[in-house]
């Protein structure tokens, strides 16, 4: 499917990726998009929750991981239909991070790929699904988890991996998946695992 990039979409991407750069963000943004870093934090949080609140917390973490897995699978299905090429493979002058090093596409760069995996952003979808489920499963967290998808979404633009509309679509998809997983847990599966969150 052909995907025309709206002018505002492109302008926001260029602001974040080219004009709002700094050394601090160059160091932080790759970490915010790192799946390894995310799962290390999740593992530590799960262990701490289990120690302080009981082993049932591990079951809730499993619900969270299932939600993220479903979110990731759903984005894969949409990506295969849309085939939008990532900014770093489509636009001249885009900064991107590869193998631990920042690079920039030359100004005479020409897109050669016909298909890509830009829309929607799986990172945005998965982080939103995680945040919403975390708020629902652990209400004491309030709205703090929503910082995660905001930061991850921004990092995807900064890294040249996605357009803003990719991130927005990912957030919406993650929100929908989280809603379905929560309903399945709260009004179905949780009755087989009695106990307090």
Specify the DSSP element, H or E, that contains 155: helix 147-158
17 vs 93: CA distance, rounded Å: 9
Third-level CATH fold of 55-104+115-197: Vanadium-containing Chloroperoxidase; domain 1 (1.20.144)
pLDDT, one tens digit per residue, over 112-171 is: 888 999 999 999 999 999 999 999 998 988 999 999 999 999 999 999 999 999 999 999
Judge contact between 85 and 115, C-beta under 8 A. yes
**pLDDT over threshold 70, residue 176:** yes
Instruction: Report if pTM > 0.85.
Output: yes
Query: If pLDDT is split at 50, 70 and 90, which confidence band does 17 have?
Result: very high
Q: Report phi then psi at 93, rounded to 5.
A: 80, 0
Residue 101 DSSP one-character state: E
Residue 85 DSSP one-character state: P
Helix axes of 122-137 and 147-158: crossing angle, nearest 10 degrees: 170
Can you give the residue ranges of every domain in the chain?
55-104+115-197
């Amino acid at each position: 499917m052909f995907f025309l990039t709206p002018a505002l979409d492109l302008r926001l991407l260029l602001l974040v990726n080219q004009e709002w750069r700094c050394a601090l963000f160059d160091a932080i943004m790759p970490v915010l998009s790192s799946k390894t870093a995310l799962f290390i934090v999740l593992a530590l949080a799960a262990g701490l929750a289990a120690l302080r609140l009981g082993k049932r917390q591990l079951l809730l973490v499993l619900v969270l991981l299932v939600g993220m897995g479903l979110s990731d699978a759903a984005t894969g299905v949409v990506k295969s239909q849309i085939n939008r090429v990532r900014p770093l493979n489509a636009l001249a002058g885009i900064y991107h991070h590869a193998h631990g090093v920042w690079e920039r596409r030359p100004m005479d760069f020409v897109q050669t790929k016909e298909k890509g995996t830009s829309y929607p952003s799986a990172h945005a979808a998965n982080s939103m699904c995680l945040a919403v489920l975390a708020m629902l499963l652990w209400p004491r967290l309030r709205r703090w988890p929503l910082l995660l998808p905001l930061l991850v979404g921004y990092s995807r633009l900064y890294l040249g991996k996605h357009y803003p509309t990719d991130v927005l679509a990912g957030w919406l998809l993650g929100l929908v998946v989280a809603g379905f997983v929560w309903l399945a847990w709260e009004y179905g599966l949780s009755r087989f695992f009695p106990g307090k969150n």
